[in-house]
Amino acid sequence: MPEAILEPELPIVDPHHHLWDRRAYIAQGPEHPFMTAIQPAARYLLDELMADTGSGHNVVATVFVECGAFYKAGASPAMAPVGETEFVNGVAAMSASGLYGDMRACAGIVGRADLLLGDGVAPVLETHIKSGGGRFRGIRNSASFDADKDVLGPLNRVEAGLYRDTTFREGFRRLAPLGLSFDAWLLEPQLPDLIDLARAFPDTTIILDHVGTPLGRASYTGRLPERFSGWKANIQELAKSPNVVVKLGGLAMAFCNFPSFLAEPRAPSTQLAKEWGPYIETCIEAFGAERCMFESNFPVDMGSCSYATLWNAFKHVAGGASAAEKTALFSGTATKVYRLEI
C-alpha cells in the first residue's frame, strides 16, 4: 500500500535522474539484476518523471544526469553525446513553459564528454554548453570497473584506472575554466582513484555519485558489513578535499544488493532507512550537510522502491537533522552546486 508522505511541504531538488527510451536495449540485454531492475522503466520520459515527482513530495526542480540516451545519429563519436543534451534541453523547455505545473524538470543538465580526448575535448564541451540553453552544468565520465565482470554485467565499459590516466586528466583540466563540474561514478574499491583526482584538481567541483557504490553482489555477496570500515575510511579521506560533494542515494541499485532490492512485497521506507542509514549518516558526518544532497537516481532505483517511498526513506534518515541541515540536504546543496535558477 502507498505510504503517507512525510513532511510533504519540504522543498526537494532531485539532483540525479535519467530520461530514456530503452525498450529495445532492455529487451535484448543480457541477464543481470540491473536489467531486471530497470525493465519496468524501459520508457522514462517527461510524463513518467512528472508522475513520480508529483506523487506527493514537494519536488520543485530536478537535474538530469547523462545515461547514454538520444545520441545524435551520424555525428562523430566525440560529438554524438551532444544529442542527449539537445534532447534534454527540449524537455527542460517544455517544463519551463509551465504547462506541466510548477516543477522545473531538468533545470540543470549533466552530459557526457569523453575526457580521453585530452585537449581535443574542448570543442565538445563548448558545443554542449551552447546546446544546453543556459542549463548545462557539467559532465559525467563513469570509471566503474571491477575485475569480477559479474559485478557490473552489461555496464562493463571501461578499464581500470580511468581517473588516473594522463590523457583523461588533460581533458579534465578543461572543465574548471568553463565553469563545469564533474560527476564521478565509480565503485567502492576505486575510491582512492577519486581521492587522488580531487587532490590533483582542487579548483574543479567534483560530485561523488551514489556514495561511492558499496558492493554486495557477485564475489562481494554478503560482504557489505566487512567492507564498511574500508569504505568509511575512504569517504572520510575524500571529504578532506573541499572541492568534493556527495550524492546520497543509489543504494537501491543491484550492485549494493541490499535485502530490499527486488523484494516482494516491496520494502517499506523504514526498512530502506535502516539499510541505507549507516552509509548516508557516515557521509553527512564526514562532509557536512552543506556538501551532501539526497538523490533519487530514478528510474534505476525503481528496482527497490517507488519514488515516494524513496524520499520517505531519506526523510526517516534525516529525521534528527536541524531545519537548516534539511534544507541543505534536500534542496540547498543541489541548488548551489548546480547553480540552478528556480
pLDDT tens profile 162-208: 999 999 999 999 999 999 999 999 999 999 999 999 999 999 999 99
- Residue 26: the pLDDT is 81
pLDDT tens track for 149-165: 999 999 999 999 999 99
- The pLDDT confidence band at residue 30, using thresholds 50, 70 and 90, is confident
Dump pLDDT digits (tens) for 290-308: 999 999 999 999 999 999 9
* Mean pLDDT score of the chain: 97
User: Distance between CA 159 and CA 147 in Å, rounded?
Assistant: 9
Amino acid identity, position 123:
P
Of 30, 48, 9, give the one whose Cα is nearest residue 306.
48
* Other residues' Cβ atoms within 10 Å of the Cβ of residue 131: 20
R_g over Cα of the chain: 19
With residue 249 as reference, give the H or E element that holds it.
Answer: none
Q: Give yes or no for residue 3 having a pLDDT over 90.
A: yes
In the prediction, which pLDDT does 217 show? 97
Residue keyed to cell 525498450: 23
Measured in degrees and rounded to the nearest 5, phi and psi for residue 137 equal -120, -20
pLDDT at 78: 98
Judge if pTM exceeds 0.95. yes
Question: In the chain, what percentage of residues exceed pLDDT 70?
Answer: 100
Cα gap 89→2, rounded to integer Å: 33
> Per residue in 33-57, pLDDT tens?
999 999 999 999 999 999 999 999 9
Which DSSP string corresponds to 43-100? EESHHHHHHHHTSSSEEEEEEEE--S-SPPTTS-TTTTTHHHHHHHHHHHHHHHTTTT
96-139 pLDDT tens trace:
999 999 999 999 999 999 999 999 999 999 999 999 999 999 99
CA angle 325, 141, 125 (to 5 degrees): 100
Of 245, 342, 247, 253, nearest to 298 by C-alpha is 253
pLDDT, residue 320, reads 96
Report residue 248 as a C-alpha cell.
Answer: 546520497
Residue 337 has pLDDT above 80, yes or no: yes
Q: How far apart are CA 106 and CA 277, in angstroms?
A: 28
Q: What is the mean pLDDT of residues 222-241?
A: 98
Q: Return the pLDDT at 2.
A: 86
Low-confidence winner among 17-31, 60-74, 82-96 (lowest mean pLDDT): 17-31
Mean pLDDT of the region 280-296: 98
| CA 157 to each of CA 162, 202, 272: distance values in angstroms, whole numbers, following the listed order | 11, 27, 29
